[in-house]
Structure 1
Amino acid sequence: MSAEDLENYETDMELQLYREYRDVVGLFSYVVETERRFYLANHVDLQARSADGEIYFDLTLQDAWVWDVYRSARFVKSVRVITFKDVNVEELTPNDDLTLPKPDEL
């Protein structure tokens, strides 16, 4: 496999992932971003914790979808994330004017 073939494969996988995101985003209530992953979820529990003078975040998501091109199963019933960096949680509302480009516009 050439470097170009590999790059084309990765581009195709990312485009498929984006299309899946576009198809499922309306099923979820929250968008969650950590330093390593991007999630959609219907329930979010975020707790700031401290240990040995360090602050970290303990994040539990229920009914979630994980943005990860290398996961074969992106829907998960429950996921727990521990992170030492900021976590961004945004609530989606049914009235959001979230307009995503159509596949032929990409």
Structure 2
Amino acid sequence: MSAEDLENYEADLELGLYREYRDVVGLFSYVVETERRFYLANEVDLQVRSAGGEVFFELTLGDAWVWDVYRSARFVRSVRVVTFKDVNVEELPRAELNLPS
């Protein structure tokens, strides 16, 4: 497989993932960004924790969709994320969830 073939394959995967996102975004109430992933979810619980002088975030999502091109099953019932980086959680009004075609 050439480098160009690999780039085309990855571009096709990303385009397919974006199309799936566009199709499902209206089913969710929250957009969640961590340093490693992007999620859509209907339930979000964000807790700030500390241990040994370190602060970290514990994030629990229910009824979620994961932006990950290499996951075969992006819909998940429950997700638990622990991170030392900031977490961005936004509740979006329904009007903002409708993406243009």
Whether these two folds match at TM > 0.5 is: yes
Please give the residue correspondences for 1:40-51 in structure 2 after superposition, counting only pairs within 5 Å: 40-51=40-51
CA distance, structure 2, for counterparts of residue 98 and residue 89 of structure 1: 18
Is it true that 1:67 corresponds to 2:52 in the alignment? no
TM-score normalised to structure 2 length: 0.96
CA distance, structure 1, for counterparts of residue 11 and residue 95 of structure 2: 32
Please give the residue correspondences for 1:48-59 in structure 2 after superposition, counting only pairs within 5 Å: 48-59=48-59
**Ranges in structure 2 where 5+ consecutive residues have no aligned partner:** none
TM-score normalised to structure 1 length: 0.92
Could you tell me which residue of structure 2 aligns to residue 9 of structure 1?
A: 9
Q: CA deviation at 1:36?
A: 0.1
CA distance, structure 1, for counterparts of residue 25 and residue 8 of structure 2: 26
- Runs of 4 or more consecutive aligned structure 1 residues displaced over 6 Å after TM superposition: none
Q: CA deviation at 1:95?
A: 2.7
CA distance, structure 2, for counterparts of residue 86 and residue 97 of structure 1: 23
CA distance, structure 2, for counterparts of residue 2 and residue 13 of structure 1: 17
Aligned-CA RMSD value: 1.1
**Ranges in structure 1 where 5+ consecutive residues have no aligned partner:** none
Please give the residue correspondences for 1:2-41 in structure 2 after superposition, counting only pairs within 5 Å: 2-41=2-41
CA distance, structure 1, for counterparts of residue 99 and residue 9 of structure 2: 27
Aligned residues: 101
Q: Which moved more, 1:35-44 or 1:88-97?
A: 88-97
Q: Percent identity?
A: 79
Is it true that 1:76 corresponds to 2:76 in the alignment? yes
